[in-house]
Amino acid sequence: MHILHYIGIDISKATLDWATFEGKATIWQTTTPNTVAVIRTALLELKKLPGWQPQQTVFCMEHTGIVRHEVARFEYG
């Protein structure tokens, strides 16, 4: 499988720091509040990236227990 996008999310209780890479280039970066509504909005922005294919995307984040559950809920449906 060819991976096109790598999305790293630094999770804290109040905020999410997002960085999206295509190869070694950062193509999208933002900091958002850690809320369900804003996670949905951020994912809609990701879907606008050129060549976006969820099957060719890897999400990476640290295990922070319950704090990361909202993001994971969207990743896994």
The pTM score is 0.80
Q: Which helix (H) or strand (E) holds 37?
A: helix 36-46
Report helix, strand or coil for 44: helix
* Residue 63 pLDDT: 74
- Of 70 and 31, which is predicted with more confidence? 31
Fold (topology level) of 5-75: Nucleotidyltransferase; domain 5 (3.30.420)
pLDDT, mean of residues 3-24: 93
Enumerate the domain spans of the chain: 5-75
Report helix, strand or coil for 31: strand
Per-residue pLDDT of 22-69, as tens digits, reads 999 999 999 999 998 999 999 999 999 999 998 999 999 877 766 555
Q: Rounded to whole angstroms, how far apart are CA atoms 50 and 77?
A: 23
